[in-house]
Amino acid sequence: MVRKVSDHIYLIDTVALGLEEFVAAYLITGSSENALVDTGYASSLSNIVEELRQVGLRLHEIKYIIPTHLHLDHSGAASHIIKNSSKSLILCHPRAVKHFIDPSRLIASVREIYGESAALFGEVIPVPLENIRGVHEYEKLELGDVTLRFIHAPGHAPHQIVVYVEEDQALITGDAVSIQYPSSPVKIPTTPPPSYNHAETLETLEKLSKISSKIILRPHFGETPYTLNYFKEEVEILQNWRDRIRAFIEQGLTLDEIIESLLEEYDQRYRGLLRTLPSLHTTVRLSVLGMMKYLEEER
């Protein structure tokens, strides 16, 4: 499924791991160049190719590939797109560059977190040096009649960027904001290991709240009109999440008990709705693990 979400932007459903409305990528079409923000998993590449075809584009017509961060649901297909389109260029956070060129540490970290199921994400292959460069804070990129602005957005991961599309006043957030699937009102914080940083996330949200956005475009999943309270609510959700997990730890609950308690809370609040959410258990588990690690290191 591909659909237009603003003047120059299409939402591409990557149908990650066979699930619809789970992982989105955003195609920005300028009068001189096109860019793809986030790519989905390597295993979703054929879906992306098909959806680009539906808007009349082929891989080599995407000049810029812009993974918001290294997590494979955002960056996995990037190196494969380069393999098929040697003139394209990956633009990313400066701290992510070395991991695209030599993904061995990234691969090890994904295996450690996901175990066997990491195989479902597809193969991670290196990117040639000449096909990648880091973008600096507030760097501008012109695609003809549309301008992108890159914002460093650490927190969810240290190597995250957010992309602002000036003419559309659209903010493509990466995982700087929580997960909310179209089928559900539940917002789930995304605070995963190995490097979630709560203080940096709050700083990033503060920074993003100062940008004049009309529309928020989230990878998980879809578009939301911007409202004045948008980022304030995001901060509240995260603070509440930290407080809940901290309290559970102080009560001496184990990881599994914490996950169970939080899932039960969700279930009571949003009866029935949760069963339709993709990978809820995994998301909650990872977000608990990442926050626990952060709280431990903070001490």
Whose CA is closest to 42, among 134, 106, 98, 93? Answer: 106
8 Å CB contact between 185 and 273: yes
In whole angstroms, the minimum distance from the beta carbon of 145 to Zn ion comes to 30
Interface contacts to Zn ion, rule CB under 5 A: 73, 175
In whole angstroms, the minimum distance from the beta carbon of 78 to Zn ion comes to 14
Mark residue 15 as left, alpha or beta (left: phi above 0; alpha: psi -120 to 50; beta: remaining).
left
Tokens standing for residue 221:
């999943």
DSSP 202: H
**Closest CB to Zn ion among residues 73, 168:** 73
**Closest CB to Zn ion among residues 79, 173:** 173
In whole angstroms, the minimum distance from the beta carbon of 157 to Zn ion comes to 9
In whole angstroms, the minimum distance from the beta carbon of 89 to Zn ion comes to 22
In whole angstroms, the minimum distance from the beta carbon of 37 to Zn ion comes to 13
How far apart, in whole angstroms, are the C-alpha atoms of residue 276 and residue 121? 22
**Closest CB to Zn ion among residues 30, 67:** 67
In whole angstroms, the minimum distance from the beta carbon of 208 to Zn ion comes to 17
**Closest CB to Zn ion among residues 69, 198:** 69
End-to-end CA distance of the chain: 46
8 Å CB contact between 184 and 276: yes
Q: Which amino acid is at 55?
A: V
Cis peptide before 248 (omega within 30 of 0): no
In whole angstroms, the minimum distance from the beta carbon of 220 to Zn ion comes to 6
E strands within the chain?
A: 2-6, 9-13, 24-29, 34-37, 64-66, 89-92, 132-134, 140-142, 147-152, 161-165, 170-172, 215-218, 222-225
**Closest CB to Zn ion among residues 196, 248:** 196
How far apart, in whole angstroms, are the C-alpha atoms of residue 96 and residue 99? 5
**Closest CB to Zn ion among residues 175, 234:** 175
**Closest CB to Zn ion among residues 239, 282:** 282
